[in-house]
A = this chain, B = another copy of it.
Amino acid sequence: MVLVLRGELRLSAGKAAVQAAHAAVMLVTQAEEHHAPGLRAWFAQGQKKIAVVAPTLEDLTQLERKARAHGIPTVWVEDAGLTEVPPGTRTCLGLGPSAVGDIDPVTRHLPLL
């Protein structure tokens, strides 16, 4: 599972942590419905997660397209916008759960958060 924060928003550490947590929960609940075997495999391997950064919304959108083309589940986190960003702002793209070998080629160029 890779949690990709939108760098240009310059979120605080706490806000970024919450967006990553939203994405992880959304990916798990989505996988419970649509990708149950992949989810079980991911839990069995210690539910690995990594948080990385892509600079802009355009970068995130391209990444989402590439992930979908590779059959990797995706979710968008939109913030309620009560504090640091306007309502509906896309703050984070969640990818997975998928085998590391599937997801790594799509995200390995991104720096750690």
Residues of chain A touching chain B, judged by Cβ–Cβ distance below 8 Å, are: 3, 5, 12-25, 28-29, 46-47, 49-52, 80, 112-113
Contacts and interface: CB of A to CB of B under 8 A. Distances in A.
Residue with the greatest number of chain B CB neighbours at <10 A, chosen from A14, A22, A51:
A14
B22 A25 contact: no
Q: Please tell me how many copies of the chain the complex holds.
A: 2
Contact of A49 (B5, B22, B46, B50): B22
A97 to B, nearest CB: 10
Given A24-B24, A25-B28, A51 B113 contact: no
Please classify the interface of chain A as helix (H, G, I), strand (E, B), loop, or mixed, using the class held by over half of its residues.
Answer: helix
Given A13-B13, A14-B113, A49 B28 contact: no
A14 B3 CA distance: 10
A17 B3 contact: yes
Nearest to A48: B80
Contacts of A23: 21
